[in-house]
Structure 1
Amino acid sequence: MCGFVCLWNIGDEALASAMITRIAHRGPDAVAVVRAENAPVVMAHCRLSIIGPQDGAQPIYQGKDILVANGEIYNHADLRAILGESAFETKSDSETILHLFRTDALRWVSQLDGMFAFVLATPERIIAARDPLGIKPLYVATIGEGLAFASELKAFDGIEVASIRAIPPGSLFDSINGMRRWYRMPQGAAEAEPGLEEEAVWRELRLVLEDAVRKWMVADVEVGSFLSGGLDSSIIAALAARAAPYRLKTFSVGVEGSPDLVAARRVAGHIGSDHHEHAFTPADVAAVLPHVIYHLESADVDLVRSAVPTHFAAALARRHVKAVLTGEGADELFAGYTYHHAYVDRPRELADELTRSLGTMHNINLQRVDRVTMAESLEARTPFLDRDLIDFAQTIPATMKLRRTDPQGGDSTGPTTEKWVLRKACADLLPRELVWRKKAQFDEGSGTVEALGEALMIVTGASRPLDREEEAAVYERLLRERYADPDRILANAGRWESGRVALAG
């Protein structure tokens, strides 16, 4: 995990150094700036060492090619075996990118399995690519006749650029051949096919989940797990506790006595984790709010609300580990949000909405997870967004994800149960009352919404709670105060409610 900057046809090492300094929080273990001898490129990198900590320094400069990468390649051991171990000079998982490129295979980037963003330069061309869902960020800007790439928008702050945009998820940019989409989200299924055995579906889902968690725990350092006490993080933590060769460390935050803290404590006791928790106050929220918004690179109300507890969880976890697992993505895969209930009798629209929301996570919830954890030099991993798990989950009919039933099954007129198939697949992992606990947003279950209300009164000096419009204005003001070019940041920010599939009739 790390951050990087790359300048193509812009021979300015001082600029690269200034840009990497702005995102140095992403990699406190080492910082390097390198000008290539055989290519018109300057690369800068800040490193958080997770795999190959002894010899995995970047940029990776071999022959006439140079590479910077951010993220993790989880199938790097398999790729090494295929490509030939003798070709490798380091133990870094990122080096597999360079050797895959050199095979000259037409779709070489599709062989990478993980979360990643990278820029690779040769004397003739520059190539930049991003993982399927955009878990890892990557931006490109035009500066004069050259191109500048960076892991966060704040790297460009105060720099005159002609244009700036994100490399789309699952896309590859080639200075010779232009942009292409190498990954497309599979369309979600709506209705069950005739003869489908539901038990067979959730049993297979459990196996795919277990594989994903094991894969996303690959590291040369200990990996912990966020644990909110909700279904998603509890499932991940329970599976990780079984897979880890050490006692898993789990981390929970909330206001004193909040439902999340109570539930997380119960889950931790059940799975036997080494549990750590932190209770925050409205005064704590008020103190960190400018920091959170600056790093989030967004003033969207819903994102800020969920970013605040993420910040406290990340700060807590970083005192103990360098990497954590999170439950991000389960709501988008299995219909876990409250607004999904409106689609309960419209499986086609629900399947389409889940597919849409998966494709837009990169500048919404995934942006929150990446920016806020990396602000604390912590790597967040999202096993629910494993490619194999996504492929399988998208074949599960929407009627098995959200349905009218009670936990016992069979009542088609009962209350709407979200993530039904996921609950069935993991029913044996956790106490029954936790498996069937009703969904609460992270900001709700942790008590953040109430704490934020008081914190905003502290920040503004208001004598009454702020309404949503006033809350949004405060967040935007705090963002504008921290950036030389705040409009550029706001223009690239996503909105959590934008573009939802409409229900006809």
Structure 2
Amino acid sequence: MCGFVCLWRCGDEALARRMIDKIAHRGPDAVDVISAGNAPVIMAHCRLSIIGPENGAQPMHQDEDMLVVNGEIYNYTDLRAILGEGRFRTSSDSETILHLHRSDILRWVTRLDGMFSFVLATPERIIAARDPLGIKPLYFARIGDGIALASEIKAFDGIGVDAVEAVPAGSTLDSVTGLQRWFRIPQGAGRAEDGIDEQAVWKELRLVLEEAVRKWMVADVEVGSFLSGGLDSSIIAAIAARQLARRGRRLKTFAVGLKGSADLIAARRVAGHIGSEHFERAFTPEDVAEVLPHVIYHLESADTDLVRSAVPTHFVARLARRHVKAVLTGEGADELFAGYTYHHGYVDRPRELADELTRSLGTMHNINLLRVDRITMAESLEARTPFLDRELVAFAQSIPATLKLRRTDADNPDRTGPTTEKWILRKACDDLLPHDLVWRRKAQFDEGSGSVDALAIALQKMTGADAPLDRAAEGACYKQILCEQYQDPELVLSNAGDWSLGRAIAV
């Protein structure tokens, strides 16, 4: 996991160094700036070494090509075998991108399986790309006739650009052909066909999920797991713990919250059930007030919901980084399996629910994935999202929406019974955890951890208000904090996502 800067036909090494220094938290293991002698390109890279730590330094300069990468290519061993081991000079997964580009394979970017963003420069052009769902960030700006690219918007702050744009998820940016899509999210399925074998579906889902966790644990360093005590993180941790136990190893899990909060209690119970080595931290409103400017600066957003969930993410990332370099998270399960409260309004409209899940998957890059990437990388921690594995996404999208959100008493003729979100996921993993934990109703991370209450107290103290701030005042406070920390705050605000945008509650 890393951060990078690329200047194509613009700037100099001093500018590249200035930009990479602003995102050096993404990679504390090594920082380097290189100019290509045979191409108008300068690349800078800060590295958090996860795979190939001994010889995977970047920027990677081979023959006439130069490469910077952020992320992980999980099928790199298969690609090395296909491309020929003799071509490779390092054990880094990133090097596969160079040789795929040089091969005769059509649409070579589609062969990459993982979470990634990269820029590849040849003497004639640059090609930048981003993974299917935009798990890893990538931004660009025009400088004269050239292009500047970087892993975070803050790299562009104060350098005089007029606008910054994100390379869309599942897209390439080619200096010759421009922006092009290379991946589209499969359309979700609506109503189940009569006679569908539900048991077969959830058994297959379990296998696909187990394979995703196995794949996303590939690393040359220890991988831990966030554990909020909620369904999604508990499932991932339980599967990971089983897989590690087969190798005689024990999973490390991490939880945070206010003292006595529901998340801490539930996480402790899950950790005991799966046998993980568990670490936890109780934070206070005073702790929240102290870290809030740091969180908002790194989040690159003042969206109220994102800030609320970013606060506990900060505390759990800081806790985890004391013990591991990489962690698994449960992000993506709500978008795949209808886990949000507003989804319940769609229970009798499966086609609309399937369309909404597909739509929300396409917005994750600028909302929850932005939060996870920025806040974990601010602590030099790599976060991995197995639920967003490409094969798992494809399979989950093929599952009818009627199996994701359904009435608990589905046979009730008046169809007025309570609804259960993520039903098929719960069935698939019913044996992994205590029954009551598998079937308990969802609580948002910021609610279960108590961070909303802590934020309310912290903001009241910070502003000197006589009463807790209403939502509008809370959002205005976050925006002010962000603007005070950037020379060009509009670059950030114009790119920031809005969690609630387009999420209408169906009635």
1:404-443, aligned counterparts within 5 Å? 404-405=407-408, 413-443=416-446
Match 1:298 to one of 301, 306, 319 = 301
The secondary structure found in structure 2 opposite 1:232 is: helix
Equivalents in 1 of 2:53, 2:488: separation in Å? 36
- What is the CA distance between 1:179 and its match in structure 2? 1.4
Residue from 374, 379, 403 that aligns with 2:377: 374
- CA drift of 1:105 comes to 2.4
Q: Confirm or deny: 8 A CA contact 2:343 2:505 kept in the other structure.
A: no
Deviations 1:199-225 (A, max 9, x none): 000000000000000000000000000
Match of 1:187 in 2: 187
The alpha-carbon deviation at position 106 of structure 1 amounts to 2.4
Counterpart pick for 1:259 among 231, 252, 262: 262
Using the TM superposition, give the Cα deviation of residue 196 of structure 1 relative to its aligned residue in structure 2, in angstroms: 1.3
Partner of 1:19: 19
Question: Are the structure 2 counterparts of residues 162 and 464 from structure 1 closer, same or farther at C-alpha, using a change threshold of 3 Å?
Answer: closer
Q: Deviations over 1:271-323 (max 9, x none)?
A: 00000000000000000000000000000000000000000000000000000
- Where 1:163 maps in the other structure, the secondary structure is coil
Unaligned runs of 5+ in 1: none
Q: Deviations over 1:66-107 (max 9, x none)?
A: 000000000000000000001000000000011000014221
How far did 1:501 drift? 6.2
Matches within 5 A, 1:286-435: 286-405=289-408, 413-435=416-438
Match of 1:38 in 2: 38
Cα deviation for residue 243 of structure 1 reads 1.2
- Please say if residues 349 and 501 of structure 1, whose CA atoms lie closer than 8 Å, have aligned partners that are also in contact: no
After TM superposition, give the deviation of residue 500 of structure 1 in Å.
3.2
For residues 69-468 of structure 1, the aligned pairs below 5 Å read: 69-244=69-244, 245=247, 246-405=249-408, 413-468=416-471
1:118–1:129: 8 Å Cα contact kept in structure 2?
yes
- Once the 2 structures are TM-superposed, how far is the Cα of residue 502 of structure 1 from its aligned partner? 7.4
The Cα of 1:410 is off from its aligned counterpart by 5.2
Q: Between Structure 1 and Structure 2, how many residues are aligned? A: 502
Deviation at 1:488, TM superposition (A): 1.3
Contact residue 345 and residue 505 of structure 2 kept, 8 A: no
CA RMSD of aligned residues (A): 1.1
Structure 2 residue matching 1:328: 3-state secondary structure: coil
Task: Write out the 4+ residue segments of structure 1 that deviate beyond 2 Å after TM superposition.
Answer: 409-414, 499-503
Q: Deviations over 1:233-270 (max 9, x none)?
A: 00000000011232100000000000000000000000
Conserved 8 A contact 1:11-1:40 = no
Q: Following the alignment from structure 2 to structure 1, what is the Cα–Cα distance between the partners of residues 131 and 110?
A: 9
CA distance in 1, matches of 2:78, 2:505: 43
SS of residue in 1 equivalent to 2:239:
helix
TM-score, L = length of structure 2: 0.98
CA contact (8 A) 1:344 1:404 kept: yes
| Deviation of the 1:11 alpha carbon | 4.4
In 2, distance between residues paired with 1:323 and 1:74? 14
The match for 2:500 among 473, 497, 501 is 497
**What is the alpha-carbon distance in structure 2 between the residues aligned to residue 299 and residue 452 of structure 1?**
14
SS at match of 1:142: strand
Shift of residue 163 of structure 1?
3.1
- Whether contact under 8 Å (2:185, 2:358) holds in the other structure is yes
Distance 1:435 1:492, change over 3 A: same
Secondary structure at 1:394 match in 2: helix
Classify the secondary structure of the residue corresponding to 1:5: strand
Q: Secondary structure at the match of 1:492?
A: coil
Gaps of 5+ in 2: none
8 Å contact from structure 1 (residues 5, 44) kept in 2: yes
The Cα shift of 1:162 comes to 3.8
User: Is it true that 1:67 corresponds to 2:70 in the alignment?
Assistant: no
Contact 1:283 1:458 in 2 (8 A): no
- Aligned-partner residue type, residue 285 of structure 1: V
> In 1, Cα distance between the equivalents of 2:411 and 2:54?
56
Conserved 8 A contact 1:353-1:501: no
The percentage of aligned residue pairs carrying the same residue is 75
**8 Å contact 2:223–2:327 — kept in the other structure?**
yes
SS of residue matched to 1:207: helix
- Report the CA distance between 1:413 and its aligned residue: 4.0
Q: After superposition, what is the alpha-carbon deviation per residue over 1:407-438, rounded to whole angstroms, capped at 9, x for unaligned?
A: xx755543110000000000000000100111
1:193: how far off? Answer: 2.0
Aligned counterparts of 1:482 and 1:342: Cα–Cα separation in 2: 40
Greater Cα shift, 333-342 or 186-195: 186-195
Matched position secondary structure for 2:225: strand
Relative distance call for 1:223 and 1:452 in structure 2 (3 A) is same
Partners of 1:106 and 1:203 in 2: CA distance? 35
1:486 equivalent among 473, 486, 489: 489
What is aligned with 1:28?
28
Q: Which amino acid is the alignment partner of residue 357 of structure 2?
A: L
Measure the CA separation in 1 of the matches of 2:391 and 2:93: 20
